[in-house]
Amino acid sequence: MSGPVLVGVVNVTPDSFSDGGAWFDADAAVEHGRELMAAGADVVDVGGESTRPGALRPDLDEELRRTIPVVAALATSGAMVSIDTMRAEVAQAAIAAGARIVNDVSGALADPGMASVVADAGVDFVAMHWRGHSATMQARAHYDDVMADVCRELTTRIDALTSQGVRPEQIILDPGLGFAKLPEHNWALLRGLPEIMALGHRVLVGTSRKRFLGLVGRSEETIRGADEREVATAVTSAYAAEAGVWGIRVHDITATRDALDVATAWGKLPGGGE
């Protein structure tokens, strides 16, 4: 591919920070996934658990009820489907329904059975930098050197996963922007993307609609709402693409696709310029 893989978000949740439950109904979620594909998404990432700061977890049965019918329908439509889950049982059911990527924001820390599911299935696995569940994660946003600390903790995850049978080529790293991170940590990690890529794995970045983008040039009192952050999302996505990341995870495929097209025409991405 000449540019990064675009991963479109399908939140099958009632309490997502980004869309407020707009796709909680399974039929609506499937239709939204198809719309993302039509707009240029290479992957649709289906999740049934909100990971916004302070969010509480659904139980296993509820997460399965939310996600598996959507995964199955989108896979049948020909989509490359990713399942966004921290539970091994959900990952296993989603793989059986057609998912080809497991996106685990805990990097297999939340469920000790996750690594074996991924290893046995041979699917790609997104391992995000994570320090705890949403209800408490922001209390853990303390770093001596955020780049060094995140790279070290991701390396520990890589070693743990490979020791449990996950092949190195299955692993995709995610720096976990907004997860146990303050705005200054997020910006440092974006500036340091080459260091994360130097760990030797594909890298997925997700800035989309996150709070730190709402604060760019604003105060807490004038912060942009989640639906007002698409320009900032597209700009950061284009810079991440120029840095050479494997994938970009976004809610609005069209805005980011436009930004990447501009970067390509400018010669900042392969395939553009004179």
Q: What DSSP line would sit under 99-156, residue for residue?
A: --EEEETTTTSS-TTHHHHHHHHT-EEEEE---S-TTTGGGG---SSHHHHHHHHHHH
- Please say if 87 is a catalytic residue: no
- Please say if 209 is a catalytic residue: no
Catalytic residue among 202, 210, 229, 257: 210
Distance in angstroms (rounded) separating the CA atoms of residues 27 and 41: 19
Distance in angstroms (rounded) separating the CA atoms of residues 195 and 184: 17
3-state secondary structure 172-207: EEECCCCCCCCHHHHHHHHHCHHHHHCCCCEEEECC
120 phi and psi, to 5 degrees? -65, -40
Place of tokens 């074996």: 116
106, 130 contact by CB (below 8 A): yes
Distance in angstroms (rounded) separating the CA atoms of residues 70 and 103: 16
Catalytic residue among 66, 209, 224, 249: 249
The residues annotated with a catalytic role in the active site are 210, 249
